[in-house]
């Protein structure tokens, strides 16, 4: 077997190339050893003492700052200058004043990064939703602890948590803060360590307390039904996905979408954005929108500005006339930070070891830690009461025979022998004897003695109750539950972030929504040439150019986003968007549809129509006198097919067609010269495109249906003569005055 290579070594040379006239020896050290000695201590320090929060929800920098403010009596006293707080915190935090002040800013009410800020601030502390709004210097601002901090320091002086020396050994500081609620789930926290990171989102305080109480009662409870979803101080809308949220709750990893809240002010034709995702800033949103507007991808926007004031965030978008605010916002959600994702990484230090945990595991660790804290507090209180009871028991023995105690003291010659003589005379220990010896003479009365005896009985009962708490885990849990209920009552907190269960995802959005929307005039010639002309171009030159022998067949006033349906002599329909055609001028021939649409060889255009929403019906009139009414929606396809076969019946050649938007009277003319007028309401609509239709006009064998037009587009004077009472009928012969000079055609207005 080949020999393993030795680890790479780091070579060190003496700074002096010659030592005693000889070249210095090379000292070799394996690279792994160098990393272990020099890099690992730094990495561990960053992970444990800087970047990753612990079970109380705080990093060391947060804890040191808040504890300093607590020792400065800023929980009950008025505000003091931030610079004063920063200076005092430096006794615990071995970092510069700028880093400490930045920490305080992010915990402040003014900055707004937390659902429940811990620092009650006064002055300019910036805003979490602004990248460029800088906070004022510490000498200008003031701060104190917010009232909710009482829940962080409750019973901190009753041995609920451990204390340790500060960095120079001159002061003591808590290793954790005894929070009465799961602050680790309430306060958002983010940190980047060496080789790992942490990103905790905040949850609503009411929901977290309810979830903790439910977990204490039943560790297998359904957390999703109680702790519904994360909550953010910047509000917005959380797009809820049950599977994603369940994975986050179980594993501590995953991401979900948060989008902005907005409203449309119709009177001013503007969109106002007043809540944005927690992960972005107003400046980032405006920069991206500006980029898209300059790139021509958002033509609906006339202007965008930041109108944020003392009332809060507001980004205003001025819309151009005719713009659809709902469609615009869907596009903005897709392409800008107005909709952003939050990536969860619930990495928390547990007993000095980083662990990625789900919500249930976090509640398990917090409840276990909190139970231990309550037990330590109970034991501390019990010990204090036991010590007092011990003193009172000694006092009770002496007070039962006070004359004997006075005699012992009076008969003792030396002061140092008073305590030993009392101990011998009454069978008490030194602590009890010293307590008795210090009693004032005025307290040797019946009332004092009775009170002390009654207090002894009360203390014994209290100690027994405390011991019952220590012996029964359910009573400890009941105490924690009571504290959680108290927190919910004291600090009511409605949700900031709205949960949206039904929403349109960006993936479902029409990818062709980027097509510009503007009015156009469309012309189709008899030989199949199509021109799309803008109103401005048409005003400059309205005279249409056609090939020799060709002329105008159909025309439409439409929108650039509308769809064009072209029907051919082979019963096929070709579908395309008007946006696929370049804007042209009246002086050009236009696009030749058989070539543009890739029609089969020899296939020609017989009719066409334009639609925006596939509303209405198509009327097909065949040479055999039959008519078919087909819903236009029958030609709409989800896959945007470009070619449909069997577009209409092939049993008889097509004589005419019409896009029916509302029912009206139609006039049919046969080659015999007969005319029939009927109302389209008598034709039942069909969903089958290739339907043969129903017989409308009875024709002799050598004649066929020649044309069909709306009655309003003809010159028929004697209309009653040609109206049919029932179908089918042959119609009446046209009189000379009803023929007029107008050539009946398939021209559609």
pLDDT in tens, 620-659: 999 999 999 999 988 988 777 788 999 999 999 999 999 9
Query: Is residue 56 situated within a structural domain?
Result: yes
HSE of 235, CA atoms in CB hemisphere, 13 A: 12
Query: Do residues 479 and 446 share a domain?
Result: yes
453 alpha-carbon distance from chain centroid: 64
* CATH number of residue 390's parent domain: 1.10.268.10
**Judgement on whether residues 318 and 405 belong to the same structural domain of the protein:** no
pLDDT for the residue 746: 42
Domain boundary among 361, 377, 395: 361
Structure tokens at 692: 């043969």
User: Do both 139 and 14 map to the same domain?
Assistant: no
Q: Which of 618, 596, 614, 631 lies closest to 524, judged by CA?
A: 596
**Spatial separation of the C-alpha atoms in residues 119 and 102, rounded to whole Å:** 12
Gap between the Cα atoms of 670 and 734, Å rounded = 10
Q: Closest Cα to residue 382, out of 308, 321, 507, 468?
A: 468
Residues 535, 646 within the same domain: yes
Q: Rg (Cα) of the chain, in Å, rounded? A: 44
C-alpha–C-alpha distance, residues 542 and 533, integer Å: 10
273 HSE (CA, 13 A, CB side): 30
Contacts (Cβ under 8 Å, ≥6 apart) of 551: 525, 526
Give me the residue label for tokens 């809060």.
312
Encoding tokens for residue 281? 């800033």
Q: Does any domain span residue 199?
A: no
SS3 at position 524: strand
User: What DSSP assignment string belongs to 589-629?
Assistant: --EEHHHHTTPPTT--EEEEEEESS--SEEEEEETTSEEEE
Neighbours of 152 (CB within 10 A): 25
| Exposed e or buried b per residue across 216-249, where buried means at least 16 C-beta atoms within 10 angstroms of its C-beta | beeeebebeebbbbbbbbbbbbbbbbeeebebbb
* CA count, 13 A, side-chain hemisphere, 449: 11
Instruction: Look up residue 625 and give its two tokens.
Output: 């006198």
Burial class (CB in 10 A: 0-12, 13-18, 19+), 556: buried
Are residues 252 and 129 located together in one domain of the fold? no
Task: Indicate the angle between helix axes 473-490 and 205-217, nearest 10 degrees.
Answer: 160
Tell me phi and psi for residue 28, to 5 degrees.
-100, 140
Beta bridge partners of 558: 520
Nearest to 211 by CA among 172, 184, 191: 184
Q: At which of 328, 361, 394 does a domain end?
A: 361
Say if residue 267 is in the same domain as residue 313. Answer: yes
357 and 401 within one domain: no
Q: Determine contact, residues 142/80, Cβ cutoff 8 Å.
A: yes
704 contacts 624 by C-beta, under 8 angstroms: yes
The alpha carbon of residue 151 and the mean position of all alpha carbons in its chain are separated, in whole angstroms, by: 29
Say which CATH number the domain at 614 has. 2.120.10.90
Tell me which residue of 590, 624, 586 sits closest to 701, measured CA to CA: 624
Q: Could you tell me how far CA 602 lies from the centroid of its own chain? A: 57
For residues 423 and 439, membership in a common domain is answered with yes
What is the per-residue pLDDT across 271-307, written as a single tens digit (0 to 9) for each?
A: 999 999 999 999 999 999 999 888 878 888 999 999 9
Cross-strand partners of 18: 23
C-alpha to C-alpha distance for 334 and 202, rounded to whole angstroms = 25
Give me the number of domains the chain comprises. Answer: 5
CA distance 194 to 51: 9
Which of 140, 379, 574, 614 is an active site residue? 140
pLDDT below 70 — which residues of the chain? 1-27, 504-514, 740-749
Is 537 a domain residue? yes
Residues spanned by the domain of 529: 511-739
Answer yes or no: are the C-beta atoms of 567 and 646 closer than 8 Å: no
Q: What is the pLDDT of residue 19?
A: 46
**In the prediction, which pLDDT does 514 show?**
59
Indicate the residue among 361, 389, 420 that finishes a domain. Answer: 361
Q: Give the CB-side neighbour count of residue 710, counting CA atoms within 13 A.
A: 12
Residues 352 and 453 in one domain: no
Residues 374, 434, single domain; the answer is yes
- In this structure, is residue 42 part of a structural domain? no
Looking at residue 2, what is its pLDDT?
A: 46
Q: Does residue 252 lie in a domain region?
A: yes
Q: What secondary structure letter does DSSP report for 137?
A: P
Instruction: Give the pair of three-digit tokens for residue 177.
Output: 């803060």
Cβ pair 390, 435 in contact under 8 A: no
> What's the first-to-final CA gap in the chain, in angstroms?
91
Residue 214 neighbours by CB distance under 10 Å: 18
**613 and 479 within one domain:** no
Which CATH number do you get for residue 268? Answer: 3.30.1360.40
* C-beta of residue 421 within 8 angstroms of C-beta of residue 406: no
Q: Can you tell me the distance from the alpha carbon of 30 to that of 6, in angstroms, rounded to the nearest whole number?
A: 8
Q: Show the tokens assigned to 208.
A: 């977290």
List the structure tokens of 567.
């029907």
- Smallest CA-to-CA distance from 265 within 323, 325, 332, 309 is with 325
Please give the torsion angle defined by the CA atoms of residues 47, 50, 55 and 56, in that order, rounded to the nearest 10 degrees: 180
Strand partners, 573: 567, 644
Burial class of residue 311, CB neighbours in 10 A (0-12, 13-18, 19+): exposed
Q: Is residue 502 part of a domain?
A: no
User: For residues 485, 489, 495 and 499, what is the CA-based torsion angle, rounded to 10 degrees?
Assistant: 40
Number of alpha carbons in the 13 Å side-chain half-sphere of residue 674: 17
**What number of residues does the chain have?**
749
Confidence at residue 426, expressed as pLDDT on a 0 to 100 scale: 87
Residue 302, classed as helix, strand or coil, is: strand
Q: How far is the C-alpha of 58 from the C-alpha of 184, rounded, in Å?
A: 7
Tell whether pTM > 0.85: no
The answer to whether residue 320 is domain-embedded is yes
List 261's β-bridge partners, or say none.
275
CATH of the domain at 103: 3.90.199.10
Contact between 662 and 711 under an 8 Å Cβ cutoff? The reply is no
Asked if residue 60 and residue 6 are part of one domain, the reply reads: no
CA gap 297, 292 in Å, rounded: 5
HSE value, Cβ hemisphere, 13 Å, CA-based, for 69: 37
């709750």: which residue's tokens?
Answer: 249
In the numeric block, which tokens belong to residue 693?
Answer: 């239709």
d(CA 7, CA 78): 62
359/365 Cα distance (integer angstroms): 10
Q: What one-character-per-residue DSSP string does 33-50 give?
A: HHIIIIIHHHHHHHIIII
3-state secondary structure of 237: strand
pLDDT for 299:
82
- Report yes or no on 44 lying in a domain: no
Catalytic residue status for 101:
no
């Amino acid at each position: 077997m080949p020999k393993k290579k030795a680890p790479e070594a780091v070579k060190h040379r003496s700074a002096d190339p010659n030592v005693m006239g000889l070249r210095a020896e090379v000292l070799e050290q394996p690279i792994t050893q160098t990393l272990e000695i020099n890099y690992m201590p730094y990495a561990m320090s960053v992970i444990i003492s800087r970047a990753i929060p612990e079970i109380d929800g705080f990093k060391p920098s947060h804890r040191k700052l808040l504890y300093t403010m607590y020792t400065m009596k800023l929980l009950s006293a008025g505000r003091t200058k931030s610079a004063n707080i920063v200076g005092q915190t430096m006794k615990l935090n071995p970092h510069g004043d700028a880093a400490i002040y930045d920490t305080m800013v992010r915990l402040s009410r003014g900055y707004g990064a937390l659902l429940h800020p811990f620092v009650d601030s006064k002055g300019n502390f910036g805003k979490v939703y602004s990248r460029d709004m800088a906070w004022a210097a510490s000498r200008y601002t003031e701060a104190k602890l917010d009232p909710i901090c009482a829940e962080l320091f409750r019973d901190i002086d009753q041995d609920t948590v451990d204390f340790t020396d500060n960095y120079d050994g001159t002061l003591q500081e808590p290793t954790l803060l005894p929070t009465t609620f799961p602050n680790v789930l309430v306060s958002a926290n983010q940190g980047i360590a060496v080789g790992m990171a942490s990103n905790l989102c905040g949850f609503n305080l009411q929901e977290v307390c309810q979830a903790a109480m439910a977990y204490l009662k039943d560790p297998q409870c359904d957390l999703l039904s109680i702790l519904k979803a994360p909550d953010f101080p910047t509000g917005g809308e959380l797009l809820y996905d049950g599977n994603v949220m369940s994975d986050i709750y179980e594993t501590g990893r995953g991401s979900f979408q948060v989008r902005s809240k907005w409203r449309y002010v119709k009177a001013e034709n503007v969109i106002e954005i007043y809540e944005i995702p927690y992960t972005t800033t107003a400046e980032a949103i405006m920069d991206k929108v500006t980029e898209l507007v300059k790139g021509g991808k958002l033509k609906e926007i006339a202007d965008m500005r930041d109108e944020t004031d003392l009332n809060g965030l507001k980004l205003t978008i001025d819309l151009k006339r005719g713009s659809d605010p709902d469609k615009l916002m869907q596009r903005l959600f897709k392409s800008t930070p107005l909709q952003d994702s939050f990536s969860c990484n619930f990495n928390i230090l547990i007993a000095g070891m980083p662990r990625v945990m789900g919500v249930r595991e976090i509640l398990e660790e917090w409840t276990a830690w909190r139970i231990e804290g309550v037990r330590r507090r109970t034991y501390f209180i019990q010990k204090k009461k036991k010590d007092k009871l011990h003193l009172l028991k000694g006092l009770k023995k002496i007070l039962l025979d006070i004359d004997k105690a006075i005699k012992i003291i009076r008969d003792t010659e030396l002061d140092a022998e008073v305590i030993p003589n009392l101990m011998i005379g009454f069978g008490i220990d030194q602590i009890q004897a010293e307590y008795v010896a210090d009693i004032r003479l005025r307290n040797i009365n019946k009332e004092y003695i009775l009170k002390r005896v009654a207090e002894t009985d009360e203390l014994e009962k209290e100690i027994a109750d405390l011991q019952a708490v220590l012996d029964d885990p359910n009573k400890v849990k009941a105490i924690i539950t009571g504290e959680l209920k108290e927190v919910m009552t004291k600090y009511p907190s409605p949700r900031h972030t709205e949960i949206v269960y039904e929403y349109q995802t960006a993936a479902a959005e029409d990818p062709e929504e980027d097509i510009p929307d503007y009015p156009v005039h469309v012309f189709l010639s008899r030989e199949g040439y199509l021109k799309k002309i803008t109103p401005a171009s048409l005003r400059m030159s309205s005279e249409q150019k056609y090939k020799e022998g060709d002329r105008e067949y159909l025309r439409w006033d439409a929108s650039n986003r509308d769809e064009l349906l072209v029907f051919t002599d082979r019963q096929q329909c070709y579908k395309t968007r008007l946006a696929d055609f370049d804007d042209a001028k009246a002086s050009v021939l236009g696009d030749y549809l058989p070539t543009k649409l890739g029609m089969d060889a020899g296939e020609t255009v017989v009719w066409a129509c334009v639609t925006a929403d596939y509303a209405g019906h198509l009327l097909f009139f065949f040479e055999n006198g039959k008519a078919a009414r087909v819903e236009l929606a029958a030609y709409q396809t989800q896959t945007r097919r470009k070619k449909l076969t069997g577009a209409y019946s092939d049993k008889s050649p097509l004589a005419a067609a019409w896009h029916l938007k509302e029912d009206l009277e139609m006039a049919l003319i046969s080659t015999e010269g007969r005319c029939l007028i009927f109302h389209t309401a008598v034709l039942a609509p069909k969903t089958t495109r290739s339907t043969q239709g129903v017989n409308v006009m009875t024709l002799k064998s050598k004649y066929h249906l020649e044309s069909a037009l709306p009655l309003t587009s003809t010159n028929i004077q004697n209309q009653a003569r040609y109206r049919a009472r029932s179908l089918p009928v042959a119609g009446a012969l046209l009189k000379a005055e009803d023929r007029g000079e107008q050539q009946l055609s398939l021209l559609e207005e």
